[in-house]
Amino acid sequence: MTDSIHITLQPKAAEAKWGKKASLTPTDSGFQIHLDNAFPARSIQKAARQLDGLGVEEVTLSGDGWDLERQWAFYLGFTSAKKMAGVQWQGEAATQLSQLAHCFSWARQITNQTPEQLSPEALANATVAFLTPLAPDAISHRLITGDALLAEGWVGIHGVGRGSERPPVMLVLDYNPTGKADAPVDAVLVGKGITFDSGGYSIKPSESMSYMKCDMGGAATVAAALGLAVMKGLSRRVQLVLCCAENLISGHAYKLGDILTYKNGTSVEILNTDAEGRLVLADGLLYASETGAPLIIDAATLTGAAMVALGNDYNALFALDTALQQRALGYATEVQEPTWPLPLAPWHQGQCPSPYADTANSRPVKGGGTGGASNAAGFLSRFVPEGGKGWLHFDLAAAFNSSNGPLWAAGATGMGIRAIAETLRQEAGKG
């Protein structure tokens, strides 16, 4: 990278000739970024987006002030769906930054793949191929595919995915660095892996469906979070459960009015086939509950309501275990991934009533009605043990952008990976 452009940090404002709000000005060897001292990381990320817009392919971060978080902010702004590299790291943080880039680039690239490229089985296999080399002696896995899901009682994943010619899959990946087959499972990560979401018979409009390749972003996020934790020396046994399916329309697809009865006896009437994420996650949460793990974390691009509430800058965090929720918010703050708590109480379980089943999967109004993100979290809370103790639900409002913006290129962001990885590292084993 000897010919790469050098980028330096400048705490002073740009000279007047460049305009009052200039954040990026040329130097003899490249460019300097004029920091907004109130929001330095954001100003760096915005300037990096400008450099990407200029077509710059390779840069070297030079001079003073480039701590880990500032270098990482630059990387997030500089990279895009077509370019996941090109930044020469500086200083002692280089190893940590390389680990982050490895995990984020995998998650972003797989989320940006086309629906044709990424079937449910392809997502599961790609996850195994990503994680196994990180700890080949400690990782094993199992795929439960197609009608085998029904045989084992995983009715949610099967029901949502049965309308596609490409079968649904549950991936169970076991990271067990103890080497003991009877070692307790300290944590389970559960991810929504809807590789394409047409909405089913509650079909989405084209403008919403056009970027629904991102609906497996939860699966990519928890897989990358596990990878990052492993690279940082995670010594606890953790299992990863990905709930993978295509939500398509056919003569075999599930329909409004159908009732699914889960392994814990909960019956669910389908009032919206586009509220499918919670149906597949319910299976993953039930599996996690069966392990006896004291920590369960799920992540999903679950509701538009979370995006309405928080925009694309924050992920939403739900929990009934408020002490754990507060600690997780602290970990997210430490790694500078904006995360915000939204309301969840036990009574949210009753917000989607059904005259035919224990609950419906949604309310029969557009978008699920008011409080949709909390109602979805309430639905999920039916499938976790001990009244939600030890359970966290991330609704990934900040995981994907449908178009270029001032902070992010179009596509997957990876937001949530660091927060979940840090929560896993800090909390696994506490129970």
Tell me what pLDDT residue 397 has: 97
In whole angstroms, what is the distance from residue 389 CA to residue 322 CA?
Answer: 9
Active site residue 278: yes
Burial class (CB in 10 A: 0-12, 13-18, 19+), 259: middle
In whole angstroms, what is the distance from residue 130 CA to residue 215 CA?
Answer: 19
Task: Look at residue 364 and tell me whether its pLDDT is greater than 90.
Answer: no
Tens digit of each residue's pLDDT (9 = 90 or more) over 38-97: 999 999 999 999 999 999 999 999 999 999 999 999 999 999 999 999 999 999 999 999
Tens digit of each residue's pLDDT (9 = 90 or more) over 278-317: 999 999 999 999 999 999 999 999 999 999 999 999 999 9
Task: Look at residue 152 and tell me whether its pLDDT is greater than 70.
Answer: yes
Please identify which of the residues 46, 166, 237, 278 carries the catalytic annotation: 278
Q: Domain ranges in the chain?
A: 5-89, 106-427
The three-state secondary structure class of 194 is strand
Please identify which of the residues 42, 83, 204, 263 carries the catalytic annotation: 204
Q: Is 367 left (phi over 0), alpha (psi -120 to 50) or beta?
A: left
Tell me what pLDDT residue 254 has: 98
Tens digit of each residue's pLDDT (9 = 90 or more) over 190-226: 999 999 999 999 999 999 999 999 999 999 999 999 9
Residue 368 or 145, more confident = 145
Tens digit of each residue's pLDDT (9 = 90 or more) over 365-420: 877 889 999 999 999 999 999 999 999 999 999 999 999 999 999 999 999 999 99
* CB contact at 8 A, 114 and 213: yes
Task: Look at residue 1 and tell me whether its pLDDT is greater than 70.
Answer: no
| Terminal CA-CA length for the chain | 47
The three-state secondary structure class of 86 is coil
In whole angstroms, what is the distance from residue 4 CA to residue 60 CA?
Answer: 6
Q: What is the mean pLDDT of the chain?
A: 96
- 106-427 CATH: 3.40.630.10
Residue 419: in which H helix or E strand, if any?
helix 417-427
* CB contact at 8 A, 168 and 120: yes
* Residue 430 pLDDT class (50, 70, 90 cuts): confident
In whole angstroms, what is the distance from residue 260 CA to residue 323 CA?
Answer: 33
Tell me what pLDDT residue 289 has: 98
Query: Region 422-428: what's the mean pLDDT?
Result: 97
Active site residue 204: yes
pTM for the complete prediction? Answer: 0.97
Tell me what pLDDT residue 3 has: 73
Task: Look at residue 115 and tell me whether its pLDDT is greater than 50.
Answer: yes
Tell me what pLDDT residue 20 has: 82
Tell me what pLDDT residue 331 has: 98
Query: Region 141-157: what's the mean pLDDT?
Result: 98
Tell me what pLDDT residue 431 has: 67
